[in-house]
Chain A
């Protein structure tokens, strides 16, 4: 996980405390509820400039920091591919 993603995700995890965020960190256990998850989705779309595809909109994607990071990476790769195709 890169630092911008960690910086974006951390404020949505009130129970994280001083512990490091790892790919195995379970978001629900760290205080992520539906309302926060929706705001996080907005933050990903607005802050990272990617839109998660419909097939990644499920509870598995939002289960851990690592699963969400993987979906964000897939969306970023797809967006980059689109940009190259358009160029």
Chain B
């Protein structure tokens, strides 16, 4: 069945989110989704260990995108796609945090990006040192979704020097542990996402806060960031289709001459060109969903992320222009354009994912390359 079929079947039904105000924060939205038992339903068999059910994830993201801002949608997407599946490979504190998170009680932040190294994760400086049954964490993470609202953060740290992918480990850090400090990022974008910076200064925890095994930090990140890239692709489909619908509605009402803007051939064609890009991205997403969700296909995930970023940028650019001055309203496509730039930056820049595509092209059957 199509990954989008369930979403379309549910489109006409009343959403339990309809009672929440449009400016609901990501953290409050997470609490509400947990209370409605909708978080576990995103995973195959309601079990994050089995990975996401793409159709269920698509349905949820479409519902959230339709009703809330980009920041709040982002705040839900990251833990659903990445944090909870990562926690599912842990024990002890990770197991408890996962249960609390599925119930909506705890928001978990994914703290991967370091202060100085950005998306070059192999160069990050945040350190975890082991001393018997204890670990110590030191470092700073920047531009972390849910940083100011989380109950715990999954922190990617190095346990050995050097760039080798086996030198990194995930550590689950309670937000109230001594030595943890969160501060909001200085931005007006992403309202409701709790985006900010996290500092860890001599944070001491038990060794059972290591999640997924020592040395599995980057491989686990690669496996689960693939799911986050799939989630971004699904969200991009919902976002583009929503904005295209809103734009068509606007063009059908906006008077021009003796008719409305939609009557003008050139305007309809420009809108249809954006629709074409949206449909191409949707078709690509549909064709690669299973490869990412079931087989951890990092090349397919990179392709989806690049496609989502370029499609969202094009569709919002066209729709913002077609809506004219109306496009500058609060929450309109001009504001969305600025926010949606994150599709080309968050979770790996477009350049990073294009590089992955080039690296993996021979494996994907593109033949011998230079």
Contacts and interface: CB of A to CB of B under 8 A. Distances in A.
A59 B122 CA distance: 13
B166 A57 contact: yes
B86 to A, nearest CB: 15
Contact of B166 (A11, A14, A46, A58): A58
Contact of A54 (B160, B215, B223, B360): B215
Interface in A52-87: 54, 57-59, 61-62
Q: Which of B162, B222, B295, B299 has the most CB of A within 10 A?
A: B222
A33 B166 CA distance: 12
A57 B215 contact: yes
B22 interface: no
A54 B356 CA distance: 26
A54 B164 contact: no
A33 to B, nearest CB: 7
Nearest to B220: A38
Given A38-B218, A38-B298, A54-B215, A33 B359 contact: yes
Given A33-B359, A34-B164, A35-B356, A58 B298 contact: no
B356 A62 contact: no
Contacts of A41: 219
Interface in B353-370: 356, 359-360, 362-363, 369
B284 to A, nearest CB: 21
Contacts of B222: 35, 38-39
Contacts of A59: 162, 164, 166-167
B328 interface: no
Interface string B211-229: 0011110110011000000
A34 B214 contact: no
A34 B167 CA distance: 11
Contacts of B204: none
A: interface residue count bin: 10 to 19
B215 A58 contact: yes
Contacts of B356: 35
Contacts of A34: 122, 163-165, 218
B67 interface: no
A6 to B, nearest CB: 16
Given A35-B360, A38-B165, A38-B218, A54 B295 contact: no
B219 A38 contact: yes
A35 B214 CA distance: 18
Given A34-B164, A57-B166, A57-B214, A42 B219 contact: yes
B122 to A, nearest CB: 6
Given A34-B218, A35-B298, A41-B219, A54 B213 contact: yes
B49 to A, nearest CB: 14
13 contacts: A11-B363, A34-B122, A34-B163, A35-B222, A35-B356, A37-B165, A38-B222, A39-B222, A46-B295, A57-B215, A57-B216, A59-B166, A59-B167
Given A11-B363, A35-B356, A58-B164, 9 more contacts: A34-B165, A35-B222, A36-B359, A41-B219, A42-B223, A46-B296, A57-B213, A58-B166, A61-B166
